[in-house]
Amino acid sequence: MREAIGDQVRIMTDYNQALDPAEAERRARALGAFDLEWIEEPVRFDDYAGCARVRAAAPVPIQIGENCWGVHDMCKALEAGASDLFMPDAGKIGGVTGWLRAAGLAEPRGLRLSSHLYPEISAHLLAATPTRHWLEYVDWAQPVLTHPLPVTDGHVTAPDMPGIGIVWDEAAVARHAA
């Protein structure tokens, strides 16, 4: 893939917890030559010691966090040295309050935070995160929103309206609910 798309495109890979630590180490070393942005969730999300083992062996940054339930799980990962990058999920980390707590843990460590899903909410959360990194963008909600999140040249612009800017297209919601 790297050869096909060139050096100007960033590539991330996600094993979605599919590997044991030994296999994850082997694959991380093999992928080191391809200038990846990160390897995401190479082992079971709560195997913090296994993640730390992979991180120590990997020439590529390790990203975890989307499956952590609350800031207490993030603390366990940080204590174990389980990742180079962290990707909280707004719904699992504890909403806005949980995200801000996660950002507070990340900032003094220089730990870059990326978002997991919910781009309409995550764009705002990342804007308030000193160590923000990547917004994971999927347009799953776009068909039922009156004002979908605009994307221009790979960047989003959070709506300039009260709250998080989500206004449901009630007719579209009704069509999809039927």
Count of alpha carbons within 13 Å of 150, Cβ hemisphere only? 6
**Structural domain total, the chain:** 2
Q: Any idea what DSSP says for residue 142?
A: G
Same-domain pairing of 128 and 145: no
Mean pLDDT over 37-59 rounds to 97
Q: Which domain holds residue 116?
A: 2-138
CB within 8 Å of 12: residues ≥ 6 apart:
36, 37, 38, 39, 40, 63
| 3-state SS class at 157 | coil
Same-domain pairing of 42 and 101: yes
Same-domain pairing of 87 and 156: no
> Hey, what amino acid is at 89?
D
> Hey, what amino acid is at 115?
S
Give the predicted TM-score (pTM) of the model: 0.92
Position 152 scores a pLDDT of 93
CATH at 32: 3.20.20.120
Residue 120 structure tokens: 């309409």
| pLDDT for 172 beyond 90 | yes
| pLDDT for 41 beyond 90 | yes
User: What average pLDDT does the chain have?
Assistant: 95
Same-domain pairing of 79 and 20: yes
Same-domain pairing of 146 and 61: no
Same-domain pairing of 77 and 50: yes
Same-domain pairing of 69 and 151: no
Position 10 scores a pLDDT of 93
Residue 44 structure tokens: 């079971």
pLDDT tens per residue, range 127-169: 999 999 999 999 999 999 999 998 999 999 888 888 888 999 9
Quick one: which of 51, 10, 17, 44 has its CA closest to 133? Answer: 10
What are the beta bridge partners of residue 13? 39
